[in-house]
Amino acid sequence: MIVRQEVGHRHFNPLLNFAVTAFVTTLISAQAVIYDIGNQPFIAMASSVLMLVPGFPLINSVSDIVKGYINMGIARFVMGSMLTLATSLGIVGAMTLAGVWGWSVNGNITRTDKRYVFCAIPAVGFALVFNVPQKALIYCAVGGALGHGARFMMIGIWYSD
């Protein structure tokens, strides 16, 4: 967070801010994978960039489009997508520099995770942060669980021999 704030105080482009911050946080958290600190050090790498999720531009883009402000909605969506791309480039750069790929040191990439239902909890938590109507919380929960399940299914397909 200090990196993000310092780069922001110097009025750099937000895309550069997100890329540099993602690079630094991934590089720091990759040390846990390199030195095998903890039971699942790759989780620290994945969660280190959560502060960079451009939720407000993406949520506001949908809101603008629904309200009829199509141009503004598209502009916010593109900005949110560009921030996501910048974050991804920072993560990939740090992982390349650190030589850390995959999900664990021992190469256990294709494990199946049947606890995907528990991913509904953080999905609802994020929905509450963004003031999603209560009627839509069930859809957020189902979407979080299905998204996590689909992720592990695709990882299994991608890395299967």
DSSP per position, 64-105: HHHHT-HHHHHHHHHHHHHHHHHHHHHHHHHHHHHT--SS-T
Higher pLDDT, 26 or 50: 26
Could you tell me where the DSSP H helices lie in the chain? 2-9, 14-34, 41-47, 55-67, 70-98, 120-129, 137-159
In contact, 130 and 138? CB cutoff 8 Å: no
What's the average model confidence in pLDDT over 153-158?
Answer: 69
Give how far Cα 142 sits from Cα of 3, 33, 95, 102, 135, Å.
Answer: 35, 31, 31, 27, 13
- Could you give the 3-state DSSP secondary structure of residue 134? helix
Give the distance between the most distant pair of CA atoms in the chain.
52
pLDDT digits (tens, 9 = 90+) for 55-71: 888 888 888 999 999 99
17-21, 57-61, 147-151: which is most confident: 17-21
Whether the per-residue pLDDT at 22 is higher than 80: the answer is yes
pLDDT at residue 31 is higher than 60: yes
Q: Exposed/middle/buried for 155, CB within 10 Å: 0-12, 13-18, 19+?
A: middle
Instruction: Find all residues with CB under 8 Å of 121, minimum gap 6, and list them.
Output: 141, 144
Q: Where are the domains of the chain?
A: 1-103, 110-161
Q: What is the pLDDT of residues 96-147, one digit of tens each?
A: 888 876 554 444 443 445 566 677 888 888 888 878 888 888 888 888 888 8
